[in-house]
Amino acid sequence: MRTKIVAGNWKMNKNVQESIKLADEIVSELKDLTLEHTRVLVAPPFVNISEVVKITEATPVEVAAQNMHQASSGAYTGEIAAEMLTSLGLQTVILGHSERREYFGENDAVLTEKVSTALDHKLEVIFCFGEVLADRKSGKHFEVVAAQLRNVLFELSPDQWSSVVLAYEPVWAIGTGETASPEQAQEMHAFIRRMIADHYTQELADGVSILYGGSVKPSNAQELFANPDVDGGLIGGASLQATDFVALVRSF
């Protein structure tokens, strides 16, 4: 059975006091919930990670990073290296989010380096990808998604895939209130799994968790997560309220 995952990406939200409060609330609300084959992650802003790690220690909640630099160290003012994350006890990093691609110019070449560096430092990668609205309307969404995966991940060895989680995020549905229908999400997730099976093996493809991201909220999560190839969600806005976030975890 594939692992189900609900990962909250707090983005550039919550100061340290607010992050402590949110983490406390999430841990408290999950206290009496039995999590079988389900992982819960939160990704606070870098400056708040240490405090959130303290709160979530010895709880089911894992802490992830929102990003990292591809270099292991050096003169890159303002950037964060993989070893800085692992020294805090983190085991997971989000890479390739559409906002990093759009606002910071991260392309396939940069992301290939980032993924390689993360895996070299024993970090699990949640790899984000997805089409913009123009691609969807022109019928190029499968082509775009295939290229994003093939260009960055298909040189990985089969063993390396055990440290990769995929997060399909149609860009047109991120923070817009629009959501891919359950049928659209399942169609794309099934396509992604077939791609992996064709390039590697069906066994490997069946073991990869593929998350959906894009305006997931308590009102639509159960229907989305019920699809056979949707293994959870990478959550933005709904992860900023403990009640909403925990409701998503309960949606499985």
The tokens of 109 are what?
């070449």
Name the β-bridge partners of 40.
6, 61
Task: Tell me the C-alpha distance between 119 and 177, whole Å.
Answer: 34
Per the annotation, the verdict on 69 as an active-site residue is no
Per-residue CA distances from 167 to 75, 95, 197, 240 (Å): 31, 10, 17, 19
Task: Tell me the C-alpha distance between 68 and 87, whole Å.
Answer: 13
Q: Which 3 state secondary structure label does DSSP give 50?
A: helix
Residue 11 has a CB neighbour count (10 Å cut-off) of 17
User: Which residue among 69, 97, 141, 189 is the active-site one?
Assistant: 97
Q: What is the dihedral of CA 139, 142, 187, 233, to 10 degrees?
A: -120
User: Which residue among 62, 99, 131, 169 is the active-site one?
Assistant: 169
Per the annotation, the verdict on 169 as an active-site residue is yes
CB contact at 8 A, 50 and 17: no
What positions carry a catalytic annotation? 97, 169
